[in-house]
Chains A and B, each alone.
Chain A
């Protein structure tokens, strides 16, 4: 599909989602100089139940989240800040976003993942790996699937951020990881390295949920 048709389709989907689930989101759309759809829908990898991720630049800051729409609004000034230019979100949007209003301004070419972003991701994955084993046995299987998937995806994101690679949409992490990973075992290895030594049963259960050939696993339904 060519870009004009993609933009038209995304604009149509966004209008429908706003009308059906969050009319107040129109406020940020109207005030923005740039409206960008990102995430799975931007690259045509969405599922029927996927939400539409939207970044509005210009106007007031804010956010709207429903099951159908996830909108973040930032000011033009914010997109000039170092924190924004080095962020995980900015690099993702710059690489995978589709502009449906306005056109990319200077910030897009200045984006570069900063070292503190990878450090923060490492801290969070590590903290999660430390905290969750204490609750693991209390969780039903559906939650173990949910949290092991989250840990795996966050670890994949960490690996990419450490290489200063923009994070792709989640469907790519789930289904096409082999196309961007250096080795099918690197997620295993990283998770094992982050796992607390005193909870080997948890670690074994977690790693058993990963596909040994691709390093990923089936996402929760």
Chain B
């Protein structure tokens, strides 16, 4: 979890931490709904095993766009073109590049990188769990 060194860094206010945690719901909700938009992998011998196995990366990019837009619209992020437009960039701007939450955001981005814009279900699961962990970490910090 959050190390002592991390806690020494200047953190955003509790209100901001809660707002970021709530904005993450835009992403986790997308993951929960993604199965309805994604396709089954097609090919010889493939069978429906109850869920999609490959996801389009652009769907996740839109969810991240909504997440960042929400922070801007609520005044948490300044809405100008110099502000970060990447998921990890948002967390780096709030916590610095060495913070554990920023590291989780980097891992999230690696998970959704995909291959030729297709993301496998294992990576989707991993990214979803990271988003949940990040939300938990943010709420934990907001309580301290």
Q: A residues touching B (Cβ–Cβ < 8 Å)?
A: 63, 65, 89, 123-124, 127-128, 130-132, 135, 138-140, 142-143, 146-147, 150, 221
Given the known interface contacts A63-B115, A127-B37, A128-B58, the answer about A142 and B66 at a Cβ–Cβ threshold of 8 Å is no
Q: Is the CB of A124 within 8 A of B56?
A: yes
Given the known interface contacts A127-B39, A130-B37, A132-B62, the answer about A140 and B115 at a Cβ–Cβ threshold of 8 Å is no
CB < 8 Å neighbour of A150 from B58, B73, B81, B116:
B58
In the bound complex, residues from chain B placing their C-beta under 8 Å from that of A89 are 116
Q: Is the CB of A146 within 8 A of B65?
A: yes
Q: Say what secondary structure dominates the interface of chain B.
A: helix
Given the known interface contacts A139-B65, A147-B65, the answer about A127 and B72 at a Cβ–Cβ threshold of 8 Å is no
The number of A-B residue pairs with CB atoms under 8 Å apart is: 54
CB < 8 Å neighbour of A143 from B56, B59, B68, B113:
B68
CA distance A17 to B130 in the complex (A): 31
Sample of 14 further A-B pairs with CB below 8 A, known A127-B37, A140-B68: A63-B115, A127-B56, A130-B37, A135-B65, A139-B66, A140-B65, A140-B73, A142-B81, A142-B85, A143-B68, A143-B85, A146-B85, A147-B58, A147-B62
CB < 8 Å neighbour of A131 from B62, B70, B85, B115:
B62
In the bound complex, residues from chain B placing their C-beta under 8 Å from that of A142 are 81, 85
A-B contact pairs, 19 of them (CB 8 A): A123-B39, A127-B38, A127-B39, A127-B56, A130-B37, A135-B66, A138-B26, A138-B66, A138-B70, A139-B66, A139-B69, A140-B68, A140-B69, A142-B81, A143-B68, A143-B85, A147-B61, A147-B65, A221-B81
In the bound complex, residues from chain A placing their C-beta under 8 Å from that of B69 are 138-140, 143
Q: B residues touching A (Cβ–Cβ < 8 Å)?
A: 26, 37-39, 56, 58-59, 61-63, 65-66, 68-70, 72-73, 79, 81, 85, 113, 115-117
In the bound complex, residues from chain B placing their C-beta under 8 Å from that of A63 are 115
In the bound complex, residues from chain A placing their C-beta under 8 Å from that of B39 are 123, 127
| Chain B nearest CB, measured from A165 CB (Å) | 19
| Closest 4 pairs (CB-CB, A-B) | A143-B65, A140-B69, A138-B66, A139-B69
- Best-buried of A123, A140, A143 by chain B (most CB within 10 Å): A140
In the bound complex, residues from chain B placing their C-beta under 8 Å from that of A221 are 81
In the bound complex, residues from chain B placing their C-beta under 8 Å from that of A147 are 58, 61-62, 65
CA distance A147 to B61 in the complex (A): 9
Q: Is the CB of B56 within 8 A of A128?
A: yes
| Chain B nearest CB, measured from A185 CB (Å) | 25
Nearest CB in chain B to that of A140: its residue: B69
CA distance A37 to B41 in the complex (A): 31
Given the known interface contacts A124-B56, A128-B56, the answer about A140 and B37 at a Cβ–Cβ threshold of 8 Å is no
| Chain A nearest CB, measured from B33 CB (Å) | 9
In the bound complex, residues from chain A placing their C-beta under 8 Å from that of B85 are 142-143, 146
